[in-house]
């Protein structure tokens, strides 16, 4: 095999490495951008929370907390509102928009008075008071029913 044979082999290896790197880059981008965290608030703007995927805080946890808020703070008429808009420029998130139930929650603008997490843990608020077992069980049942309706 002459010198040209080695050069052609090098070209094949380089192309294979570029292809492998491209696949890894796409997978990393999908992992980072493919399932965006979503924030929510109550329709009465007295409660807000959101997902934090890398901490394991998922949509189902947010729904449970919202149902607990409704029970503890006597906000039975309040509804859950999504404050994160769909970003159609992020093509990696498209599967999430069609697959995940969190995007079926009605969209409404964020309330700047409460931000993305309210009430703060250090504040005195009905939501921050101790949760009884009855409230926990009722919040679980209500959250399960809400999730099944989506």
Same domain, 11 and 53: no
What does the pLDDT profile of the chain (150 residues) look like in tens digits? 555 556 766 777 778 778 777 667 666 665 665 689 999 999 999 999 999 988 889 999 999 999 999 999 999 999 999 999 999 998 888 889 999 999 999 999 999 999 888 888 888 899 999 999 999 999 999 999 999 999
Same domain, 63 and 18: no
Same domain, 137 and 114: yes
Into how many domains does the chain fold? 2
- Domain with 94, as residue range(s), is 39-149
Instruction: Note the pTM of the prediction, 2 decimals.
Output: 0.80
Same domain, 16 and 78: no
Same domain, 76 and 131: yes
Same domain, 23 and 97: no
DSSP state of 48: E
Cβ neighbours, 10 Å, residue 34: 15
Note the pLDDT of residue 11.
76
The DSSP annotation for 60-75 comes to HHHHHHHHHHHHHTT-
H or E element in which residue 41 lies:
strand 39-42
Q: 74: left (phi > 0), else alpha (psi -120 to 50), else beta? A: left
């Amino acid at each position: 095999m002459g010198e040209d044979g080695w050069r052609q082999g090098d070209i094949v290896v380089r192309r294979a490495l570029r292809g492998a790197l491209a696949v890894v880059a796409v997978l990393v981008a999908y992992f980072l951008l493919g399932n965006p965290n979503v924030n929510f608030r109550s329709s009465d703007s007295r409660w807000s929370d959101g997902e934090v995927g890398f901490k394991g805080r998922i949509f189902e946890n947010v729904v449970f907390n919202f149902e607990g808020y409704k029970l503890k703070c006597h906000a039975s008429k309040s509804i859950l509102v999504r404050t994160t808009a769909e970003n159609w420029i992020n093509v990696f998130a498209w599967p999430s928009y069609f697959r995940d139930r969190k995007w079926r929650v009605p969209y409404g603008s964020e309330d700047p008075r409460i931000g993305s997490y309210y009430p703060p843990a250090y504040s005195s608020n009905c939501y921050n008071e101790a949760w009884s077992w009855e409230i926990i069980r009722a919040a679980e049942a209500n959250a399960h029913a809400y999730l099944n309706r989506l």
